[in-house]
Structure 1
Amino acid sequence: MSQIASQLATLTEALDLAQGRVPAEAEAHARAVLAHAPRRLAAGAQTVVAIAGATGSGKSSLFNALTGTRLAEQGPRRPTTSSTMAASFSATNNQLLDLLAVPRRHEVEAPADGMQDLILLDLPDHDSTATAHRDEVDRLVALVDQFIWVLDPQKYADAALHQRYLRPLARHREVITVVLNQADKLSPEDISRCLAHIRRLLDDDGLHDVPILATSAVTGMGIDDLRTRLARLAQGKRAAATRLQADVAVAARSLDGAIGRAETRGVSRETVSRLNAQLSAAAGVPIVVDAVRSSVRHRGRLATGWPLVKWIGRLKPDPLKRLRLGGRRGTAPAELEPMGDLARSSLPARSAAASSHLSTGLRSLANELSDGMPAGWRDAVYRAVHTSEATLPDQLDRAVVATDLKVDRTPVWWQVIRGLQWLLIAAVVAGALWLTLNVVLGYFGLPRVDVYPMGPDGGLQVPVPTLMVIGGLLLGIVLSALSGLAINAAANGAAKRARKALAVSVAEVGREHVVAPAEAEVQRYAQARAAVDRIVG
């Protein structure tokens, strides 16, 4: 029983993994097996053998001969068994017969040693004109441990029998015994020919190696052999497990065909790169990178520009603040409005082109991962990829807001340039005051302050205060121009760093909300495939 328990656990695992991803018929069949099997095992190891056959095949006569009773009514022309009857050769196992829903129950003495753990069922005729009779046969065919299919010399090749019952049970051939009844009506040569023909028909049905016996309820031919076979099955106490193993195997093969054998794979780097590029476009990363570049230039010029005119730059807003960005990673700038635990940016809504490119990228990812999978699993991968599509804009916006763009730090050299600019301003002011003082003193006829002319003797000599004014102005302009070049280089570097940081954040969103769910679905497929393989081999 440990083997069947293991197989049932494996089938449960496979079915749980494949739920909603395989055809409903295959799933329902497997669930029916899983629902019945534990109850059948719990009902005991008694062997339930059903005798099935067509009208006039002598099925009920054979039942009476095997049980040594006259419990079954016999009728040569019309079905006389309207409901299934059970003959138990020991105390009635009501739990088992309740499970099989067999209403007519009898206890009889075992006619042969070893039959005590046997329950024999007489089913209605499978070709009965009464629909309820056929339904009863179909129901019990799916439940009992062993079958005895009773054929008669006139109708053993009946197409309905082979197409409706025998052929579909090809995978249950371990639980089938075929009996050619009424053999007393045939000569030995005819019996041999009939048995040989039946063997060919059974082989065509896929029922290779199924035992075939010739019997006669009238003369007793083959009855003892059939009893011996039944006793051996009952004593082995394996019939129920054998039937359930066959049921599990059939259900697993049904899942096998529904799941297919697609080669699973991860997402290629090229596909991930394309997806991240499309996510970046949808997240407005190019806009943010340009804003970082412009923000560094803006702040750098304010910090290092010529102090007398840089106030004009303060009239322009910081490009990053306009987008409500620029805080450290994991925190939002104080001026931003809260959005849960983060803040929302003011990036423009993604364009129709970006949305289209993103949808194309998601579809490409789903197609790549689900290539070769059956339709149900392709749909599951598609759903996994697109589940977060509606929330991706918010997720991407959160990622952009939470990314440390590293633009809120003021470089030391900006402070140095600022200090130099103010020194130059001080020199200009001091020189201008010096010159103004001498003008005032000259106006009142007072001695002027010495200006210490500088220059070659006999050549152009320029007073120190004049040099301070002119030199300060020129040096300030030159310093602003040189710092502007440095700021441009710094802005490009900051934009490059921001692009990398944003790429990491966007890739994390793609991995968590798109790639990981899709790969989990692929892994689920591989696990289901492996579970089925453990059953079907």
Structure 2
Amino acid sequence: MVGVLERLERLRAAADLVAGRIPDALAGKVDDVLARSNRRLAVGPQTVVALAGATGSGKSSLFNALTGTRLAEQGPRRPTTATTLAASFTATNADLLDFLGVPRRHEVAPPEPDMTDLVLLDLPDHDSTATAHREEVDRLVRVVDQFVWVLDPQKYADAALHQRYLRPLAEHREVITVVLNQADRLTAVELSQCLAHIRRLLDDDGLTGVPLLATSAVTGEGVADLRRHLSRLAAGKRAASARLAADVTVLAAELDRHVGPARGSGADRRVVDDLTRRLAGAAGVPVVVDAVRDSVRHRGTLATGWPVVSWLAKLRPDPLQRLGLGRRPELESPGLRHSSLPARSAAAHSQLSSALRAVTAELGEDLPGPWRDAVAAGVREAEPTLGDRLDRAIVETELPAERSPAWWTLVRVIQWLLIAVVVVGLGWLTLNAVLGYFGLGVLPMFPLGPEDGLRVPVPTLLVAGGVVAGLLVSGLSRLVISAAAGAAARRARKRLEYAVAEVAEERVLAPARAEVARHDAARAALDRLR
């Protein structure tokens, strides 16, 4: 059996989780019960029993009969109890009565030994014409440990009593006793019929099983039985805890209606993938992937192309650098970098908003209104800064095109060696032409080829072979670079989509999932509470 202190702690934990997600009135009730419970438990275990009833029910007469005094004023035609009267059957617990706000205090000898831990209150009439009297009853109904509702044969079925007090206290049936006073005015048959009718009314009010006694303050009938009943309550020293436990139970039921069933914080994989895809589109990932492919081709052409013509590629900017991506040594702090990607189109913005709404609908499905609104607010809060965060993720992602393969350097060396071969051949031919022009002896040409066939001088072979080999190496390199550019683009797409997925998780999904997880934690806390 969970003690009232532990249940109050569980209520406090649940209240923290549902803060801002329940109506203010209900939150106020929770705060009031928690604050009142702490104070009530701190002022002692005495049992506070309040006699409540309508004008003319003989409540004050019954109070006098129970205490064996004439402390309570009695009046047959008008309410005579203007303020609550307290009778303590031991030394007055001032802290307890201060907590109750009862200034009229008396100490009386206990008629029963077990009544020493009992404090009996005589409340004003709940149907009094004086507003202050009704307010006093309403105030104390919220704080006393046990109620004894005193009815009379004439007005026991009064709708005001049942609708305003008894029916709303159905969850507090453990702390309610009902007394039919003035039993001396009825015959035995009438009393039996009256008690049976009252029991049916109490059942209709949800108060099945509450103690129902018949008393007469005039003849003393049933007074001893009521004293023994109150003595048992006082001796058990559980009335205060039972009252607080009933308050917690009522609040738990109200909170339960506003929290609803557990939802689970998972989102459909399809919705998450769709969000990542649309965020990637909005972030310009396809544009960057194309730029990576073109950049590899561009830089590969510069590195491995035939040097005679490859320099023309320098006239075109690197596709990645044109987007503000790739290696930029002048910017040492990645956090300061921004890309030059084209602004998001209206269509992309619409698709992004649609994806965010889909996530909101998926995670907020079946949640109560305030929780669903909180999920939507978490997603909306990310939208204004989402563009900048995606741009930074793109900029900070290391792209495959930023690194030059080692074989490019080897091909570049080969190309320049072939250029050197061409230069040697041209120089050889040019020198012989100049020497021949001036009638000087030329350098030997060392023709190569069959004796009876075409013989090609070595310088010519150097020039032609260097050019052909350079173009062939450039062409073969271009084929390899094209394949490498495709592979680099695919790796870039994976890395960029991963970076976008991290942004989606951090800025969109995590806040929304946190709200769903908070709801599930509140649901679990209420399950433990109930």
Which TM-score bucket, shorter chain as reference?
A: over 0.9
1:381 aligns with 2:375: yes
Kindly indicate whether residue 329 of structure 2 is the aligned counterpart of residue 334 of structure 1.
Answer: yes
Shift in Å, 1:475: 2.2
Report if the CA contact (8 A) 1:14-1:531 is conserved: yes
After TM superposition, give the deviation of residue 338 of structure 1 in Å.
4.7
Aligned to 1:205: 205
Matched, 1:407 2:376: no
In the alignment, what sits opposite 1:458?
A: 452
Map 1:163-178 → 2, pairs under 5 A: 163-178=163-178
Structure 2 matches for 1:119-130, cutoff 5 A?
119-130=119-130
Amino acid at match of 1:463: P
Contact 2:265 2:517 in 1 (8 A): no
- Give how far 1:164 is off: 0.6
| Identical pairs, percent | 64
Please point out which of 426, 438, 463 is paired with 2:420: 426
Aligned residue number for residue 501 of structure 1: 495
Q: Distance in 2 between matches of 1:6 and 1:262?
A: 23
Q: Which moved more, 1:492-501 or 1:400-409?
A: 400-409
Matches within 5 A, 1:163-242: 163-242=163-242
Alignment of 1:279-318 (within 5 A): 279-318=279-318
The aligned residue for residue 254 of structure 1 is 254
* Rounded Cα–Cα distance in structure 2 between residues aligned with 1:356 and 1:443: 77
Task: Provide the C-alpha distance between the structure 2 equivalents of 1:530 and 1:337, rounded to a whole number of angstroms.
Answer: 49
Alignment-mate amino acid for residue 390 of structure 1: P
More helix by share: 2
User: 1:294 & 1:133 partners in 2: Cα distance?
Assistant: 87
Following the alignment from structure 1 to structure 2, what is the Cα–Cα distance between the partners of residues 84 and 244?
22
SS, match of residue 148 in structure 2: strand
CA distance in 2, matches of 1:117, 1:308: 110
Structure 1: how far apart are the matches of 2:307 and 2:73? 118
Residue 346, structure 1, aligned to residue 340, structure 2? yes
Aligned counterparts of 1:13 and 1:495: Cα–Cα separation in 2? 51
Alignment-mate amino acid for residue 207 of structure 1:
L
Aligned mates of 2:471, 2:54 — CA distance in 1: 112
Provide TM-score, normalisation by structure 1.
Answer: 0.96
Q: What's the offset of the Cα at 1:243?
A: 0.2
Q: 1:354 to 1:337 in 2, by over 3 A?
A: farther
**In 2, Cα distance between the equivalents of 1:261 and 1:26?**
19
TM-superposed deviation, 1:300: 0.6
Q: Which runs of 5+ in 2 are unaligned?
A: none
Shift of 1:351: 2.2
Query: TM-score when scaled to structure 2?
Result: 0.97
Contact 1:366 1:518 in 2 (8 A): yes
SS for the counterpart of 1:449 is: coil
The answer to which of 385-394 and 486-495 deviates more is 385-394
Whether the 8 Å contact between 2:86 and 2:105 is mirrored in structure 1 is yes
Secondary structure at the aligned position of 1:359 is classed as: helix
Give distance in 1, aligned partners of 2:2 and 2:118: 22
Amino acid at match of 1:326: G
Q: Deviations over 1:228-285 (max 9, x none)?
A: 0001101110000000000011011110111011432412221211111122122221
Conservation of the 8 A alpha-carbon contact between 1:337 and 1:344: no
Aligned-residue offset at 1:471? 2.3
Mapped contact 1:262–1:371 kept (Cα < 8 A): no
Which amino acid in structure 1 is aligned with residue 174 of structure 2? E
Partner of 1:144: 144
Unaligned 5+ segments in structure 1 are 328-332
Shift in Å, 1:163 = 0.6
Name the residue aligned to 1:73: 73
User: Which letter does structure 1 place at the counterpart of 2:66?
Assistant: L
> One-letter code of the match for 2:423?
V
Q: Which moved more, 1:208-217 or 1:502-511?
A: 502-511
The corresponding residue for 1:330 is none
> For the residues of structure 2 that align with 1:453 and 1:264, how far apart are their CA atoms?
86
Residue 116 of structure 1 aligns with which residue?
116
**Among 425, 431, 434, the residue aligned to 1:437:** 431
Give the superposition deviation at 1:51.
0.5
Find the partner of 2:522 among 486, 506, 528: 528
Kept in 1: contact 2:262–2:523 (CA 8 A): no
Aligned residue type for 2:50: A
CA distance in 2, matches of 1:372, 1:411: 54
Match of 2:43 in 1: 43
In 2, Cα distance between equivalents of 1:523 and 1:424:
68
Amino acid at match of 2:147: F
Partner of 1:64: 64
Matched, 1:516 2:510: yes
Shift of 1:227: 0.5
Helix, strand or coil for the counterpart of 1:407?
helix
CA contact (8 A) 2:292 2:400 kept: no
Cα distance in structure 2, aligned partners of 1:342 and 1:496 = 27
Equivalent residue, structure 1, for 2:93? 93
